[in-house]
Amino acid sequence: MAEELEGVPTAEEIERHPMDELLRTERLPHIWCPGCGLGTALSCFASALMRSGLDLDNVAVVSGIGCTGRVAGYLRLDGFHTTHGRAIPFATGLKLANDDLRVIVFSGDGDLIAIGGNHFIHAARRNMDLTVICVNNFNYGMTGGQVGPTTPTHARTSTSPRGNLDHPFNVPNLAAAAGATYVARWTVLHARRLEKSIHKALLKQGFSVVEVISPCPTLYGRFNRSNYGTDMMAYYHRQAIVRQDVQPWEADTELGGEIICGEFVDIERPTFHDRLQGMFGNLHPSEDLQLLHRPPVELEAPSTDIKGSEATPSKLEVGWTGPSPSPASLSPPGGEEAASKATPIRPERPAQDGSVTGVARGGRLGKGVEVRLCGFGGQGIILAGRIAGAGAALYDGREVTLTRSYGPESRGGACSAALIISDAPILYPHVSRPGVMVAMSQEAYTTYREQLAGDGVLLIDADLVEPDPGADQRAIPIPATRIAEHELGRRIVANIVMLGALTALTEVVSEDAMRKAILDSVPEGTEELNVRAFEMGYAYAREMLGEGNDSADAPRPRLGGGPCSEQPL
Ligand code: SF4
């Protein structure tokens, strides 16, 4: 074995990349295209950070979405890959919670200057102590090369094939005008100067911004006759000029024009934190607002009483005593023709003994309950959540939060409306363990069913969801879509039918409140149809409970009744 010589690196040391310490090498290779400038931007940042002397345990990197958004994941630092446009508010939260942190926002022009543009200017106005590295490739690269807020006028993109009509944002000017304390722009060709500027920005107090103009040959370049990264670097070489004597507003970018680079702003002014300390001393603002001393809200599963049941079980029992019927068993026997002559849709009971025991109906649900309504886009899930929330808040006088999520598709994607309904103030709106869940699509059922609390209430659309036979949960099948289609002639009111069943079975919102909220929320001219839908769902569930309808006039679901005469939605 060769002896190690003093001062001579070992083979292992030679193989190690000088930036290995800062990179999550297990994540490599990266996803970026050949010729992309992001590798250079990351390398300049890593190098500047290592030279900065900052304690890496006190450094956090926050990225938004898109190609640049991957940076946070490749760095061996505390890193956060946040939602679209929200990198700056996320970073602001980190900094406010822990002023010892050096927080860096590393994101793209689309993320920071389009959807995140408002956050960008307000963080600059407040002079939040953050460093922002904005990689500008003049388009939305990851999502297909669409026109963005920095796309030069006349430049072609996938959504501006004849050339962009708009004037682009000048990022240094925007940052300077809004109040940033340090502003610079370089291309990735100016690697040394870029690294120096990032180094300076990292050590600067206040809102510092470094714009990095970077090639995206795969998309922006392809649309603008620069197919290779080297073409774009050659372009920067020709067109970029370093000017320290220009004002930021003179640094507009034009297609085929000069790219003015340099340091535009380097000033001092009090940061947000300085002003905060001037006002509160060392008191944390959350203490001043007494947020830290509020009692936590206890969320409970639905109560265990079963109103109207002779034998009240000691523990909440939900659903059928036998196996859950499959969607096939809930189809109209004999097909559509037979269905049209059939008896009303009634709660179908398992074959064993024909009894229903323990469908939950708990009256007012303790101090609070989490509720999740989920299905696919176009079913009116979000509207149902809004109605339930409005009913509980406006007419039952309870505290309510509503959070919504849906996929990028306008129709057909998964969506969910999550509510917390409580008698006490709600400090955090995240729903993680719902006590009540309604699933109106198989995908939503599969996605969310494991969140349901152990003794929670699960309602499913009988025809659209096939419950997992191995699941340790009992699902209550409500043929909401079938009632809406066959009884009301409008599939679109299946969500309201389901709200009727939900109200009857759980009373998370009172019947009266839900009815009023529906009337407030549905389009004019459809009130009657929607109220009937609600009543049919309610009646179905009441019958399931063996309670019948309160009102002799209440409509009962009839199978295959054909379109009704109500005004269409
Ligand atoms: Fe880079 Fe463009 Fe590829 Fe994204 S799409 S990795 S910005 S070259």
The secondary structure of 414-471, three-state, reads: EEEEEEEEECCCCCCCCCCCCCEEEECCHHHHHHHHHHCCCCCEEEEECCCCCCCCCC
CB 481 within 8 A of CB 464: yes
DSSP class of residue 567 equals P
Question: Mean pLDDT across the stretch 411-421?
Answer: 81
Which pLDDT tens digit goes with each residue over 14-54?
778 888 889 998 888 898 999 999 999 999 999 999 999 99
pLDDT at 551 over 80: no
In whole numbers, what is the pLDDT of the chain averaged over residues? 83
Which residue puts its alpha carbon closest to atom 3 of ligand 1?
A: 33
Pocket of ligand 1 from Cβ distances under 6 Å: 32-33, 36, 38, 67, 137, 141-142, 216-219
pLDDT of 216 higher than 70: yes
Query: What's the pLDDT score for residue 20?
Result: 86
Lowest-confidence pick of 65-69, 105-109, 117-121, 289-293: 289-293
The CA dihedral of 391, 396, 399, 400, to the nearest 10 degrees, is: -20
Q: Evaluate if residue 298 carries a pLDDT over 70.
A: no
Q: Give 559's pLDDT tier (boundaries 50, 70, 90).
A: very low
Going by alpha carbons, the residue nearest to atom 6 of ligand 1 is 32
pLDDT at 374 exceeding the cut of 80: yes
**pLDDT at residue 510 tops 70:** yes
Position 346 pLDDT exceeds 70 = no
Question: Which pLDDT score is estimated for 454?
Answer: 87
- Angle 167-169-174 (CA atoms, 0-180°, nearest 5)? 140
Q: pLDDT (tens digit, 9 = 90+) per residue, 304-329?
A: 343 333 333 322 233 333 333 333 33
Q: How far is Cα 514 from Cα 507, in angstroms, rounded to an integer?
A: 10
Distance CA 164, CA 166 (A): 6
Which atom of ligand 1 is found nearest the CA of 137? 7
pLDDT tens digit string along 469-495?
A: 888 888 999 999 999 999 999 999 999
Ligand 1: residue whose CA is nearest its atom 5:
141
CB 538 within 8 A of CB 530: no
How far is ligand 1, taken at its centre, from the CA of residue 139, in Å? 10
pLDDT band at residue 555 using 50, 70 and 90 as cut-offs: low
Mean pLDDT, rounded, for 428-440: 92
C-alpha Rg value of the chain to the nearest Å: 30
Nearest atom in ligand 1 to 33's CA: 3
